[in-house]
A and B are shown apart, each in its own frame.
Chain A
Amino acid sequence: MSPRITLATTRRVLSQLRRDPRTVALIIAVPVVLIALLKGVLEGSPGSFESLGGPMVGLFPLIIMFLITSITMLRERTTGTLERLMTLPLAKLDLLLGYGIAFALVAAVQAVVTAIVAFAILGVDAAGSTVAVVALAVANAVLGMAMGLLASAFARTEFQVVQFMPAFIFPQLLLCGLFAPRDSMAPVLEAVSYALPMSYAFDALHRVTVDGSLGTAGVVDVCVTLGATALALVLAAGTLRRRTA
Chain B
Amino acid sequence: MNEGPAIVVDRLVVRRGGKLVLPGISLEIAAGAITGLLGPSGTGKTTLIRAIVGVQIVESGGVSVLGMPAGSAPLRSRVAYVTQTPSVYSDLTVRENLGYFARIVDVPGGRVDEVIETVGLGEYANRQVVNLSGGQRARVSLGSALLGDPDVLVLDEPTVGLDPVLRTELWSEFANLAARGKTLVVSSHVMDEAMHCQELLLMREGDVLAAASPRELLDRTGAPDMETAFLRLIEQGAKR
Stretch at the interface among B24-32, B83-91, B169-177, B220-228: B83-91
Residues of chain B within 8 A of A230, CB atoms compared? none
Cα A245 to Cα B57 with chains together (Å): 5
Indicate if the CB atoms of B91 and A16 lie closer than 8 Å: yes
Tell whether A83 is near chain B: CB-to-CB under 8 Å: yes
Cα A159 to Cα B15 with chains together (Å): 28
We find that the number of chain A residues with CB closer than 8 angstroms to chain B is: 25
Residues of chain A within 8 A of B44, CB atoms compared? none
Mask, A47-67, CB within 8 Å of B = 1, is 000000000000000000000
Cα A245 to Cα B54 with chains together (Å): 11
Residues of chain B within 8 A of A90, CB atoms compared? 76, 104
Residues of chain B within 8 A of A89, CB atoms compared? 73, 76-77, 104-106
Known contacts A242-B55, A243-B54; A83 and B103 CB within 8 A of each other:
no
Q: Of B16, B55, B79, B144, which is within 8 A of A86 by CB?
A: B55
Indicate if the CB atoms of B92 and A87 lie closer than 8 Å: no
Tell whether A156 is near chain B: CB-to-CB under 8 Å: no
* Interface bin, chain B: 20 to 34
Q: Of B87, B91, B128, which is within 8 A of A84 by CB?
A: B87
Indicate if the CB atoms of B144 and A87 lie closer than 8 Å: no
Residues of chain B within 8 A of A9, CB atoms compared? 100
Known contacts A81-B87, A87-B76; A243 and B56 CB within 8 A of each other:
yes
Residues of chain A within 8 A of B10, CB atoms compared? none
Tell whether B230 is near chain A: CB-to-CB under 8 Å: no
Tell whether B164 is near chain A: CB-to-CB under 8 Å: no
Mask, A14-36, CB within 8 Å of B = 1, is 01100110000000000000000
Tell whether B5 is near chain A: CB-to-CB under 8 Å: no
Indicate if the CB atoms of B54 and A12 lie closer than 8 Å: no
User: Which B residues, 98 to 148, have Cβ-Cβ distances below 8 Å to chain A?
Assistant: 100-101, 103-106, 128, 144
Q: Of A19, A83, A245, which is within 8 A of B83 by CB?
A: A83
Residues of chain A within 8 A of B57, CB atoms compared? 243-245
Q: Which residue of A lies closest to B58 (CB)?
A: A243
Residues of chain A within 8 A of B54, CB atoms compared? 87, 242-243
Q: Shortest beta-carbon distance, B141 to chain A, in Å?
A: 8
Q: Shortest beta-carbon distance, B72 to chain A, in Å?
A: 10
User: Which B residues, 38 to 68, have Cβ-Cβ distances below 8 Å to chain A?
Assistant: 53-57
Q: Of B53, B89, B103, which is within 8 A of A87 by CB?
A: B53
Mask, A175-198, CB within 8 Å of B = 1, is 000000000000000000000000
Tell whether B149 is near chain A: CB-to-CB under 8 Å: no
Tell whether B96 is near chain A: CB-to-CB under 8 Å: yes
Indicate if the CB atoms of A12 and B100 lie closer than 8 Å: yes
Cα A243 to Cα B76 with chains together (Å): 13
Q: Of B86, B92, B96, B103, which is within 8 A of A4 by CB?
A: B103
Tell whether A8 is near chain B: CB-to-CB under 8 Å: yes
Residues of chain B within 8 A of A88, CB atoms compared? 76-77, 101, 104-105
Residues of chain A within 8 A of B73, CB atoms compared? 89
Known contacts A86-B55, A89-B76, A244-B56; A16 and B89 CB within 8 A of each other:
yes
User: Which A residues, 202 to 245, have Cβ-Cβ distances below 8 Å to chain B?
Assistant: 242-245
Tell whether A80 is near chain B: CB-to-CB under 8 Å: yes
Residues of chain A within 8 A of B92, CB atoms compared? 12, 15-16, 19
Residues of chain B within 8 A of A101, CB atoms compared? none
Indicate if the CB atoms of A12 and B88 lie closer than 8 Å: no
Cα A58 to Cα B92 with chains together (Å): 31
Indicate if the CB atoms of A81 and B16 lie closer than 8 Å: no
Q: Shortest beta-carbon distance, A79 to chain B, in Å?
A: 6
Indicate if the CB atoms of A87 and B106 lie closer than 8 Å: no
Tell whether B181 is near chain A: CB-to-CB under 8 Å: no
Residues of chain B within 8 A of A113, CB atoms compared? none
Known contacts A5-B103, A242-B54, A245-B57; A80 and B77 CB within 8 A of each other:
no
A-B contact pairs, 19 of them (CB 8 A): A4-B103, A12-B92, A12-B100, A19-B128, A80-B86, A84-B83, A84-B87, A84-B144, A87-B53, A87-B76, A87-B81, A88-B76, A88-B77, A88-B104, A89-B77, A89-B106, A90-B76, A90-B104, A243-B55
Q: Which A positions have Cβ atoms within 8 angstroms of B?
A: 4-5, 8-9, 11-12, 15-16, 19-20, 79-81, 83-90, 242-245
* 13 extra A-B contacts, CB within 8 A, seeds A12-B89, A87-B80, A244-B56: A12-B92, A12-B100, A83-B83, A84-B81, A84-B83, A85-B104, A87-B53, A87-B54, A89-B77, A89-B106, A243-B71, A244-B55, A244-B57
